Amino acid sequence: MFVMELTYTAPLESVEEQMDAHIAWLDGYYAAGVFLASGRKVPRDGGMILAGGVSRAEIERIAAEDPFTVAGVCAYTITEFIATKTSADLSTVRENPVT
């Protein structure tokens, strides 16, 4: 599973210009079952996405496709973790680590 942290690298006005395209991009990956949750950071200097079911290479490719990335208004930090414990609602993404 991945935590994708977006940090805005441009003024909020420039980010807002890309928002509709960014939301359409999000919707596509929600429909594909890759994105599990997303939202703005507080204070509003970026956002967070929780994603799963894909490889590190695939999640990096997905981040590179984000209209925010293409427009140069954000940078990503991607952290991979093994979700060994989840709520019942997220039990389908629970992972068993290889020992």
At 99 the pLDDT is 59
At 98 the pLDDT is 65
Structure token pair of residue 48: 């967070």
Q: pLDDT per residue over 61-95, tens digit each?
A: 999 999 999 999 999 999 999 888 888 887 777 77
At 41 the pLDDT is 97
Q: pLDDT per residue over 5-40, tens digit each?
A: 999 999 999 999 999 999 999 999 999 999 999 999
The pTM of the full predicted model, rounded to 2 decimals, is 0.91
